[in-house]
Amino acid sequence: MLELLQTKLKEKPSKKEREVVIVYPFNTTTKEIYIIQEYINGYDRKFWKFVSGGVDKVGKDLLTHAVEELAEEVAMASTIFHHLYSSERIFGNRPMHYFIAENPIVMENPPENPDEDYITDAKWVNQTEFQKMLDNKELLWDQGTMCALQAFRKYS
């Protein structure tokens, strides 16, 4: 039984079971957050969303996953990360871990993004623009957008 448990801990979790990291690149001078519009194959449509990815690399902690997702998805790096919030697994939802990446810079040689979905647009938005996107239903009103509002609040 113990061997089976140890083997399970070393295996890569399935896509439906794995935890997720969300990263908010945040410019502390302009008070803007970076959002991306991504075409998601499974839905056959575009969504405005945040840098995110599954915790799928065995032996790496959540912060390492956040750093790697920022680099892979938007070719950015930051030396200052803050853990903003983590949610539990509730009613079948996956645990989510939210991070702020302060004042990221664009990388010269970013790693390749292994995702099948692709970014169609990206932009920096301030809190007023973000709220307009929520009001116009361009952004989904969910835990991720509530945490993004907390990131704005942190720097106001």
Q: pLDDT (tens digit, 9 = 90+) per residue, 72-116?
A: 999 999 999 999 999 987 766 789 999 999 999 999 999 998 887
CB atoms within 10 A of CB 15: 9
Query: For the whole model, what pTM was predicted?
Result: 0.86
Q: Which amino acid is at 48?
A: W
How confident is the model over 129-150, as a mean pLDDT?
96
Torsional class of 106: left (φ above 0), alpha (ψ -120 to 50), beta (otherwise):
beta
Q: Is residue 7 within 8 Å of residue 82, measured between CB atoms?
A: no
Between CA 93 and CA 117 the distance in angstroms is 21
Whole-angstrom CA distances from 98 to 70, 112, 120 are 12, 23, 23
| Strand, helix or coil for residue 45 | strand
Q: Which residue has the tokens 């991720």?
A: 144
Tokens (6 digits) for 14: 């399935």
Task: Name beta bridge partners: 49.
Answer: 36
Between CA 25 and CA 13 the distance in angstroms is 26
Q: pLDDT (tens digit, 9 = 90+) per residue, 1-42?
A: 345 434 444 455 455 568 999 999 999 999 999 999 999 888
The DSSP call for residue 110 is: P
Structural domains present in the chain: 22-155 (3.90.79.10)
